[in-house]
Amino acid sequence: MLRFQHPLFFLLLLLLPLLFYFEKKRRHSFVLFSSNDLLPHDASASSAPFIWIPWFIRMLALVLIITALARPQLANVKTEISSEGVDIMLTLDTSGSMQALDFKIQDEEVDRLTAVKGVVVDFIKQRISDRIGMVVFGEMAYTQCPLTLDYDVLLSFLDEVEVGAAGDATAIGDALALSVKRLKDLKSKSKIIILLTDGKSNAGKITPEKGAELAATFGIKVYTIGIGTKGLVPYPQKTMFGMRRMMVQVDIDEETLEKIANTTGGKYFHASNVEGLKEIYSTIDQMEKSEAKVKHYQEYQELYLGFLIGALVLLLLELVLRETKYKVFP
Protein backbone atom coordinates (compact mmCIF):
# COMPACT_ATOMS: atom_id res chain seq x y z
CA MET A 1 0.00 0.00 0.00
CA LEU A 2 1.43 3.35 -1.07
CA ARG A 3 1.09 6.34 1.23
CA PHE A 4 2.55 9.87 1.57
CA GLN A 5 3.77 11.01 4.97
CA HIS A 6 3.57 14.74 4.09
CA PRO A 7 0.84 15.04 1.43
CA LEU A 8 0.46 18.82 1.94
CA PHE A 9 3.57 19.32 -0.18
CA PHE A 10 1.42 18.44 -3.18
CA LEU A 11 -0.09 21.94 -2.83
CA LEU A 12 3.11 23.17 -4.46
CA LEU A 13 1.83 21.66 -7.68
CA LEU A 14 -0.59 24.59 -7.84
CA LEU A 15 2.41 26.84 -8.57
CA LEU A 16 3.21 25.02 -11.79
CA PRO A 17 0.49 26.81 -13.83
CA LEU A 18 2.03 30.13 -12.70
CA LEU A 19 5.43 28.98 -13.86
CA PHE A 20 3.87 28.02 -17.19
CA TYR A 21 2.31 31.46 -17.48
CA PHE A 22 5.56 33.32 -16.82
CA GLU A 23 7.52 31.04 -19.12
CA LYS A 24 5.04 31.61 -21.91
CA LYS A 25 5.18 35.36 -21.36
CA ARG A 26 8.99 35.28 -21.45
CA ARG A 27 8.92 33.33 -24.70
CA HIS A 28 6.85 36.08 -26.33
CA SER A 29 9.60 38.66 -25.72
CA PHE A 30 11.88 39.13 -28.75
CA VAL A 31 15.03 40.80 -29.95
CA LEU A 32 15.30 42.55 -33.33
CA PHE A 33 18.05 41.38 -35.68
CA SER A 34 18.93 43.21 -38.86
CA SER A 35 19.38 39.88 -40.66
CA ASN A 36 18.68 36.18 -40.09
CA ASP A 37 22.32 35.55 -40.93
CA LEU A 38 23.22 36.97 -37.52
CA LEU A 39 21.46 34.01 -35.80
CA PRO A 40 23.42 30.84 -35.07
CA HIS A 41 22.83 27.97 -37.50
CA ASP A 42 21.31 25.78 -34.73
CA ALA A 43 18.55 28.30 -34.12
CA SER A 44 16.74 27.30 -37.28
CA ALA A 45 12.97 27.16 -37.62
CA SER A 46 13.06 23.34 -37.74
CA SER A 47 13.59 23.14 -33.98
CA ALA A 48 10.91 25.70 -33.12
CA PRO A 49 8.02 23.23 -32.63
CA PHE A 50 10.08 21.39 -29.99
CA ILE A 51 11.38 24.44 -28.15
CA TRP A 52 9.19 23.54 -25.16
CA ILE A 53 10.86 20.17 -24.56
CA PRO A 54 13.52 21.45 -22.08
CA TRP A 55 10.89 23.42 -20.19
CA PHE A 56 8.60 20.39 -20.05
CA ILE A 57 11.49 18.29 -18.69
CA ARG A 58 12.09 20.91 -15.98
CA MET A 59 8.41 20.83 -14.96
CA LEU A 60 8.51 17.05 -14.77
CA ALA A 61 11.60 17.27 -12.57
CA LEU A 62 9.78 19.70 -10.28
CA VAL A 63 6.86 17.27 -10.01
CA LEU A 64 9.29 14.54 -8.95
CA ILE A 65 10.91 16.84 -6.38
CA ILE A 66 7.53 17.77 -4.91
CA THR A 67 6.59 14.07 -4.78
CA ALA A 68 9.84 13.34 -2.95
CA LEU A 69 9.08 16.10 -0.42
CA ALA A 70 5.71 14.43 0.21
CA ARG A 71 7.67 11.34 1.39
CA PRO A 72 6.18 8.43 -0.57
CA GLN A 73 6.29 5.22 1.45
CA LEU A 74 5.37 1.64 0.67
CA ALA A 75 3.52 0.20 3.66
CA ASN A 76 3.87 -3.49 4.44
CA VAL A 77 1.05 -4.50 6.78
CA LYS A 78 1.84 -7.47 9.00
CA THR A 79 -0.35 -9.41 11.39
CA GLU A 80 1.04 -11.20 14.40
CA ILE A 81 -1.15 -13.78 16.09
CA SER A 82 -0.16 -14.92 19.54
CA SER A 83 -2.11 -17.28 21.73
CA GLU A 84 -1.70 -20.18 24.08
CA GLY A 85 -3.12 -22.70 21.65
CA VAL A 86 -4.91 -26.00 22.01
CA ASP A 87 -3.24 -29.23 20.92
CA ILE A 88 -5.75 -31.42 19.10
CA MET A 89 -5.38 -35.01 17.93
CA LEU A 90 -8.00 -36.11 15.40
CA THR A 91 -8.40 -39.87 15.85
CA LEU A 92 -10.37 -41.36 12.96
CA ASP A 93 -11.75 -44.84 12.47
CA THR A 94 -10.95 -46.19 8.99
CA SER A 95 -12.14 -49.76 9.56
CA GLY A 96 -14.16 -51.61 6.93
CA SER A 97 -17.50 -50.58 8.42
CA MET A 98 -16.78 -46.96 7.44
CA GLN A 99 -17.83 -48.00 3.91
CA ALA A 100 -21.47 -48.03 4.99
CA LEU A 101 -23.57 -45.85 2.67
CA ASP A 102 -25.92 -44.22 5.19
CA PHE A 103 -24.81 -40.59 4.70
CA LYS A 104 -25.76 -38.10 2.00
CA ILE A 105 -24.08 -34.99 0.67
CA GLN A 106 -26.34 -32.89 -1.55
CA ASP A 107 -28.75 -35.82 -1.90
CA GLU A 108 -25.95 -38.12 -3.10
CA GLU A 109 -25.15 -41.27 -1.14
CA VAL A 110 -21.62 -41.33 0.27
CA ASP A 111 -19.79 -43.62 2.65
CA ARG A 112 -19.20 -42.62 6.24
CA LEU A 113 -15.51 -41.79 5.83
CA THR A 114 -16.19 -39.43 2.91
CA ALA A 115 -18.78 -37.58 5.01
CA VAL A 116 -16.38 -37.37 7.95
CA LYS A 117 -13.50 -36.05 5.86
CA GLY A 118 -15.64 -33.22 4.48
CA VAL A 119 -16.71 -32.10 7.95
CA VAL A 120 -13.20 -32.43 9.41
CA VAL A 121 -11.83 -30.19 6.63
CA ASP A 122 -14.18 -27.41 7.76
CA PHE A 123 -13.21 -27.97 11.41
CA ILE A 124 -9.50 -27.63 10.61
CA LYS A 125 -10.06 -24.45 8.64
CA GLN A 126 -11.85 -22.88 11.61
CA ARG A 127 -8.78 -23.15 13.85
CA ILE A 128 -6.21 -20.35 13.91
CA SER A 129 -3.22 -21.11 16.12
CA ASP A 130 -3.78 -24.64 17.38
CA ARG A 131 -1.52 -27.56 16.62
CA ILE A 132 -3.50 -30.39 15.08
CA GLY A 133 -2.42 -33.93 14.33
CA MET A 134 -4.12 -37.08 13.06
CA VAL A 135 -4.19 -40.72 14.08
CA VAL A 136 -6.09 -43.26 11.99
CA PHE A 137 -7.00 -46.70 13.17
CA GLY A 138 -8.58 -49.97 12.20
CA GLU A 139 -7.06 -53.24 13.28
CA MET A 140 -3.96 -51.21 14.17
CA ALA A 141 -3.32 -47.52 14.81
CA TYR A 142 -0.73 -45.23 13.27
CA THR A 143 0.04 -41.52 13.04
CA GLN A 144 -1.17 -40.13 9.75
CA CYS A 145 0.13 -36.62 10.53
CA PRO A 146 2.06 -35.38 13.59
CA LEU A 147 0.95 -32.22 15.36
CA THR A 148 1.43 -29.25 13.09
CA LEU A 149 0.43 -25.63 12.50
CA ASP A 150 0.68 -26.17 8.74
CA TYR A 151 -2.96 -26.88 8.03
CA ASP A 152 -2.35 -27.28 4.29
CA VAL A 153 -0.06 -30.23 4.98
CA LEU A 154 -2.59 -31.66 7.43
CA LEU A 155 -5.38 -31.37 4.86
CA SER A 156 -3.27 -33.13 2.25
CA PHE A 157 -2.72 -36.04 4.66
CA LEU A 158 -6.44 -36.12 5.44
CA ASP A 159 -7.21 -36.35 1.73
CA GLU A 160 -5.10 -39.52 1.51
CA VAL A 161 -7.01 -41.35 4.27
CA GLU A 162 -8.88 -44.39 2.91
CA VAL A 163 -11.16 -47.06 4.31
CA GLY A 164 -9.22 -50.15 5.32
CA ALA A 165 -5.83 -48.42 5.35
CA ALA A 166 -5.21 -49.69 8.89
CA GLY A 167 -7.17 -52.93 8.59
CA ASP A 168 -10.85 -53.83 8.83
CA ALA A 169 -11.18 -54.37 12.59
CA THR A 170 -11.49 -51.66 15.27
CA ALA A 171 -8.76 -51.05 17.88
CA ILE A 172 -10.10 -48.09 19.88
CA GLY A 173 -7.79 -48.64 22.87
CA ASP A 174 -4.62 -48.70 20.75
CA ALA A 175 -5.75 -45.55 18.91
CA LEU A 176 -6.31 -43.75 22.22
CA ALA A 177 -2.94 -44.84 23.58
CA LEU A 178 -1.10 -43.64 20.47
CA SER A 179 -2.94 -40.31 20.56
CA VAL A 180 -2.05 -39.87 24.23
CA LYS A 181 1.60 -40.63 23.42
CA ARG A 182 1.62 -37.83 20.87
CA LEU A 183 0.16 -35.31 23.33
CA LYS A 184 1.31 -36.20 26.84
CA ASP A 185 4.68 -34.37 26.97
CA LEU A 186 3.54 -31.14 25.30
CA LYS A 187 2.98 -27.87 27.12
CA SER A 188 -0.19 -26.17 25.98
CA LYS A 189 -3.33 -24.50 27.24
CA SER A 190 -5.35 -27.63 26.60
CA LYS A 191 -4.83 -31.07 25.08
CA ILE A 192 -7.76 -32.89 23.52
CA ILE A 193 -8.50 -35.97 21.46
CA ILE A 194 -11.51 -36.12 19.15
CA LEU A 195 -12.12 -39.83 18.63
CA LEU A 196 -14.58 -40.85 15.93
CA THR A 197 -15.73 -44.41 15.36
CA ASP A 198 -18.74 -46.32 14.04
CA GLY A 199 -18.35 -49.65 15.83
CA LYS A 200 -17.10 -51.66 18.76
CA SER A 201 -13.52 -52.22 19.82
CA ASN A 202 -12.64 -55.76 18.70
CA ALA A 203 -8.88 -55.60 18.17
CA GLY A 204 -5.68 -54.23 19.67
CA LYS A 205 -3.62 -54.84 22.79
CA ILE A 206 -5.06 -52.01 24.91
CA THR A 207 -8.68 -51.81 26.00
CA PRO A 208 -10.65 -48.60 25.45
CA GLU A 209 -11.01 -48.22 29.24
CA LYS A 210 -7.24 -48.41 29.70
CA GLY A 211 -6.72 -45.88 26.93
CA ALA A 212 -9.16 -43.52 28.65
CA GLU A 213 -7.30 -43.89 31.95
CA LEU A 214 -4.02 -43.01 30.22
CA ALA A 215 -5.59 -39.87 28.76
CA ALA A 216 -6.98 -38.84 32.15
CA THR A 217 -3.59 -39.39 33.80
CA PHE A 218 -1.97 -36.82 31.51
CA GLY A 219 -4.85 -34.35 31.66
CA ILE A 220 -6.01 -35.04 28.13
CA LYS A 221 -9.70 -34.58 27.43
CA VAL A 222 -11.35 -36.99 25.00
CA TYR A 223 -14.44 -36.11 22.98
CA THR A 224 -15.97 -39.23 21.46
CA ILE A 225 -18.22 -39.34 18.41
CA GLY A 226 -20.29 -42.34 17.41
CA ILE A 227 -21.15 -42.09 13.73
CA GLY A 228 -23.82 -43.84 11.68
CA THR A 229 -27.41 -44.94 11.85
CA LYS A 230 -28.21 -47.80 14.18
CA GLY A 231 -29.24 -51.23 12.94
CA LEU A 232 -29.16 -52.36 9.32
CA VAL A 233 -27.30 -50.09 6.91
CA PRO A 234 -26.54 -50.33 3.18
CA TYR A 235 -23.05 -51.64 2.63
CA PRO A 236 -21.12 -52.27 -0.62
CA GLN A 237 -20.19 -55.93 -0.88
CA LYS A 238 -17.96 -57.53 -3.51
CA THR A 239 -19.55 -60.63 -5.02
CA MET A 240 -18.88 -62.87 -7.98
CA PHE A 241 -21.26 -60.63 -9.93
CA GLY A 242 -19.42 -57.42 -8.96
CA MET A 243 -20.21 -54.86 -6.27
CA ARG A 244 -23.64 -55.23 -4.70
CA ARG A 245 -25.45 -53.37 -1.94
CA MET A 246 -26.06 -55.48 1.13
CA MET A 247 -27.87 -54.62 4.33
CA VAL A 248 -25.46 -55.16 7.22
CA GLN A 249 -25.96 -54.83 10.97
CA VAL A 250 -23.50 -52.31 12.42
CA ASP A 251 -23.66 -51.49 16.13
CA ILE A 252 -22.03 -48.55 17.89
CA ASP A 253 -20.68 -49.21 21.38
CA GLU A 254 -22.13 -46.01 22.82
CA GLU A 255 -21.71 -47.20 26.37
CA THR A 256 -17.94 -47.51 26.00
CA LEU A 257 -17.68 -44.20 24.15
CA GLU A 258 -19.61 -42.43 26.91
CA LYS A 259 -17.36 -44.02 29.51
CA ILE A 260 -14.23 -42.83 27.71
CA ALA A 261 -15.57 -39.28 27.54
CA ASN A 262 -16.70 -39.24 31.18
CA THR A 263 -13.36 -40.64 32.41
CA THR A 264 -11.42 -37.82 30.75
CA GLY A 265 -13.82 -34.91 31.31
CA GLY A 266 -14.96 -34.87 27.71
CA LYS A 267 -18.32 -35.50 26.12
CA TYR A 268 -19.95 -38.13 23.91
CA PHE A 269 -21.85 -37.25 20.72
CA HIS A 270 -23.77 -39.28 18.17
CA ALA A 271 -24.14 -38.30 14.52
CA SER A 272 -26.43 -40.05 12.04
CA ASN A 273 -26.17 -37.50 9.22
CA VAL A 274 -23.82 -34.86 7.84
CA GLU A 275 -25.71 -31.94 9.43
CA GLY A 276 -25.50 -33.55 12.85
CA LEU A 277 -21.80 -34.26 12.37
CA LYS A 278 -21.14 -30.63 11.42
CA GLU A 279 -22.99 -29.47 14.53
CA ILE A 280 -20.90 -31.75 16.73
CA TYR A 281 -17.58 -30.50 15.40
CA SER A 282 -18.86 -26.92 15.65
CA THR A 283 -19.80 -27.52 19.30
CA ILE A 284 -16.36 -28.93 20.08
CA ASP A 285 -14.79 -26.02 18.22
CA GLN A 286 -16.59 -23.55 20.49
CA MET A 287 -15.89 -25.52 23.68
CA GLU A 288 -12.16 -25.66 22.98
CA LYS A 289 -11.63 -22.28 21.36
CA SER A 290 -8.28 -20.51 21.72
CA GLU A 291 -8.29 -16.80 22.53
CA ALA A 292 -5.91 -15.46 19.93
CA LYS A 293 -4.39 -12.01 20.37
CA VAL A 294 -4.08 -10.34 17.00
CA LYS A 295 -1.54 -7.54 16.62
CA HIS A 296 -1.32 -5.46 13.45
CA TYR A 297 1.74 -3.39 12.64
CA GLN A 298 3.19 -1.72 9.57
CA GLU A 299 6.66 -1.39 8.16
CA TYR A 300 7.39 1.47 5.75
CA GLN A 301 9.85 1.48 2.88
CA GLU A 302 11.00 5.00 1.89
CA LEU A 303 10.67 5.72 -1.84
CA TYR A 304 11.65 9.42 -2.00
CA LEU A 305 15.25 8.72 -3.05
CA GLY A 306 14.14 7.24 -6.37
CA PHE A 307 12.09 10.36 -7.13
CA LEU A 308 15.04 12.65 -6.26
CA ILE A 309 17.40 10.69 -8.48
CA GLY A 310 14.85 10.85 -11.31
CA ALA A 311 14.52 14.62 -10.85
CA LEU A 312 18.32 15.07 -10.90
CA VAL A 313 18.62 13.07 -14.13
CA LEU A 314 15.90 15.19 -15.76
CA LEU A 315 17.52 18.47 -14.66
CA LEU A 316 20.87 17.35 -16.10
CA LEU A 317 19.11 16.37 -19.33
CA GLU A 318 17.43 19.77 -19.49
CA LEU A 319 20.76 21.52 -18.96
CA VAL A 320 22.39 19.56 -21.78
CA LEU A 321 19.51 20.26 -24.17
CA ARG A 322 19.48 23.98 -23.35
CA GLU A 323 23.18 24.24 -24.05
CA THR A 324 23.06 22.27 -27.31
CA LYS A 325 20.15 21.56 -29.64
CA TYR A 326 17.61 23.82 -27.90
CA LYS A 327 19.84 26.74 -27.00
CA VAL A 328 17.84 29.97 -27.29
CA PHE A 329 18.55 33.69 -27.45
CA PRO A 330 18.31 35.38 -25.15
pLDDT of res. 32: 46
Model pLDDT for residues 226-267, shown as the tens digit of each residue: 999 887 888 887 777 777 888 887 788 999 999 999 999 999
> Which residue type is seen at 288?
E
Is there a contact between 276 and 284 (Cβ–Cβ < 8 Å)?
Answer: no
pLDDT of res. 189: 78
pLDDT of res. 34: 47
Model pLDDT for residues 37-82, shown as the tens digit of each residue: 545 555 444 445 566 788 788 889 899 999 999 999 887 766 665 5
pLDDT of res. 152: 94
**HEC assignment per residue over the chain:** CEEECCHHHHHHHHHHHHHHHHHHHHHCCCCCCCCHHHCCHHHCHHHHHHCCHHHHHHHHHHHHHHHHHCCEEEEEEEEEEECCCEEEEEEEECCHHHHCCCEEECCEEECHHHHHHHHHHHHHHHCCCCEEEEEEECCCEEEEEEEECCHHHHHHHHHCCCCCCCCCCCCHHHHHHHHHHHHCCCCCCEEEEEEEECCCCCCCCCCHHHHHHHHHHCCCEEEEEEECCCEEEEEEEEECCEEEEEEEEECCCHHHHHHHHHHHCCCEEEECCHHHHHHHHHHHHHHCCCCCEEEEEEEEEECHHHHHHHHHHHHHHHHHHHHCCCCCCC
pLDDT of res. 43: 47
Integer Cα distance of 51 and 90 in angstroms:
77
The residue ranges of the chain whose pLDDT is under 70 are: 23-51, 77-84, 290-297, 326-330
Is there a contact between 260 and 216 (Cβ–Cβ < 8 Å)?
Answer: no
Integer Cα distance of 62 and 13 in angstroms:
9
pLDDT of res. 33: 46
Which pairing describes strands 231-239 and 242-250: parallel, antiparallel, or unpaired? antiparallel
pLDDT of res. 45: 45
